[in-house]
A and B are shown apart, each in its own frame.
Chain A
Amino acid sequence: MSNHVFVIAEHIKGKFDDITFEMLGKGKELASSLGGELVAVLIGNNVKSMAAQLSAASKVICVESPQLENFSPEAHSKTVSAVVNAHKPKLVMTGYTSMGMEIGPAVSVDNSMSLVSFVSNVTASGGSVTAVSRLYGGKINVESQLEGEGFIVGMLPGSSPADLGRAAGTPSIEDFAAPDLSNLSIKFRQLIEPEDGDVDITTQDILVSVGRGIQSDENLPIVNELAAKLGGAVSCSRPLVDSKWMSKTRQVGKSGLKVKPKLYLALGISGAPEHIEGMKDAGLIIAVNSDPKAPIFDYAQYGVVGDIFDIIPALTGKL
């Protein structure tokens, strides 16, 4: 048992995701509070040249194997479990991301370690570690005191500045032999790129974004009309895509796109953490929601408590 903090680095197509640097930044602070080292775990095939980007960590544990070339829920979980079992860190940080969600619970069961997910903040003092989860669509914060020997936290993207974890240098690299990956049940087949052809919402200055509050796809024309009058494009939150009312290319958030328009007009979007992740860096956020307690108002600069079916036509009529 050590006091070290391990960050499971996430990368795809040769590039680290921001969550990696967000965790390194936060992890550095935690390692210092716990009196341990910050260690990055880098998994892949021929990835050692990427280690320099992880210099916020004092050490990079590098696991390479042809079986780890592409992310696999099975091979990567097994590998992280083996690393954690060998080093027994105090705290393991994974992303609450598509990759991290496969790893955290797996390592928790394999190594009998505590696990907390939806985590927006972690603090450590006197050896005790507390994690805050944003549950119930961001409407409730739950503070968990971690018990036992080692903990895993699933960090919500965007909860800590990535810049704190970016550093150049030459960290010490420790090779770790991959566990036996010869008899796997999961075979990676291919990465499928999104289809082109639709409006690219990541390059728009003005986004009129709709959520569940729109109630039906039959109500979308009034939103299109408003966006046209504003000279912007329509984007949306996940439920509209899951309901097949709008195309995946218009989705803002965790499983969609990250956008940074000059204006983000959020209509009937409550502001679950998964959505906030995709739009919190917009220049000006104006939110309209019937629920005065909607979490979206924590991120908007301006808010309107009201019915979008009153506000939308009123706006369109005045433009």
Chain B
Amino acid sequence: MNIIVPIKQVPDLVEELEIDSSGKSLDQSSLKMKLSEFDDHALEEALILKEESGATVTAIAFDSEDVDKILFTAAAKGADKIIKVTGLENPSSHQAAQALAQVIKAMPHDLVMTGVQAVDDRDGQLAVLLAHYLGVPHVSVVTSVKVNGQNAVVSKEYGAGLVAEYEVKLPMVVGVQAARQSPRYVPVAKVRQTMKTATLEEVAATNITASTGSSIKKVSKPESGAGAEMIEGSAEEQASKIIQLLKDKGIK
């Protein structure tokens, strides 16, 4: 079985996000990038399947600064192949889907697993777009994948803990919400070791015609703290004020 896992980097939201002078995009130089957490879960679920049934896992990402690091990290965690797609920087979801479909069509693929969403998905989520460019079925918001011959059994989450189970003919694309277990950790030393031994393949994206069908007019920060009255002071003072507040409101 061949599992392809498209992964990408997104800004680390712990850091301050700055808007550039055009007012239409984030200041790229101020961003600290990290692997999108949902893609980390997709990779984890793929590696669990590999351990269960002996699959070949390929992680694939678009070329960008420091992308080699997330690909080598994927290899250090257990991905068998790593591929960098060149010629398309910061693609929109539609462009990424069309380009990945080209690359994946040329490879053996049974399961394509990627994160259910990313924090910067303005024009839709990759999994379903990619499934349509590939012409294969999709199930998104998935928390478990089991493979049974030519079929996969996937669990799709609705709200309030309700889950729908589907049986799907392979190949298919899965949008992973969460893996069955927490994504594994790999020490930096092992990643460095992998950088010396693993091969990073490169494939060029060509003739990408897809577009988002929209243009960005303005990027802004929502007025922060607009609603909240801020409680000042030391931690002890703040705690006392909170408790007074609960008494005043008849809660405690």
Binding site for B on A (CB under 8 A): 12, 70-74, 77, 97-99, 101-102, 104-106, 108-110, 112-118, 130-131, 133-148, 151, 154, 185-195, 205-206, 230-231, 239, 241-244, 248-249, 251, 254-258, 262-263, 270, 284, 286-287, 291-295, 297-307, 310-311, 314-315, 317-319
Contacts and interface: CB of A to CB of B under 8 A. Distances in A.
B214 interface: yes
Contacts of A306: 235, 238
A131 B217 CA distance: 10
Given A136-B17, A302-B228, A243 B182 contact: yes
Interface residues of B, number: 88
Contacts of A73: 128, 137-140, 156, 166
Interface in B121-163: 121-125, 127-129, 131-133, 136-141, 153, 155-163
A240 to B, nearest CB: 10
B221 A248 contact: no
A10 to B, nearest CB: 10
Decide if the interface of chain B is mainly helix, strand, loop or mixed. mixed
B226 A194 contact: no
Contacts of B124: 104-105, 108, 115-117, 154
Contacts of A249: 161
Interface in B176-193: 177-179, 181-182
B46 to A, nearest CB: 16
B226 A298 contact: yes
A144 B219 CA distance: 9
A70 B162 CA distance: 13
B159 A117 contact: no
Contact of A318 (B97, B125, B229, B240): B240
A311 B235 contact: yes
A240 B228 CA distance: 25
B162 to A, nearest CB: 6
A105 B125 contact: yes
A19 B100 CA distance: 32
B161 A304 contact: no
B167 A303 contact: no
B214 A114 contact: yes
A315 B167 CA distance: 49
B216 interface: yes
Contacts of B116: 101
B169 interface: yes
Contacts of A244: 181-182
Given A74-B138, A105-B128, A144-B217, 8 more contacts: A101-B175, A115-B94, A116-B214, A131-B214, A140-B219, A144-B216, A242-B178, A257-B161
A133 B213 CA distance: 15
B203 interface: no
B228 A298 contact: yes
Given A241-B178, A314-B236, A143 B159 contact: no
A291 B224 CA distance: 11
B204 interface: no
Given A105-B124, A116-B122, A311-B238, A302 B220 contact: no
Interface string B63-94: 00000000000000000000000000000011
A139 to B, nearest CB: 6
Interface in B87-128: 93-94, 97, 116-117, 119-125, 127-128
Given A248-B161, A295-B224, A318-B239, A286 B139 contact: no
B75 to A, nearest CB: 23
Contacts of A117: 117, 121-125
Nearest to A315: B239
Nearest to B164: A191
A280 B182 CA distance: 28
A286 B230 contact: no
B13 A139 contact: yes
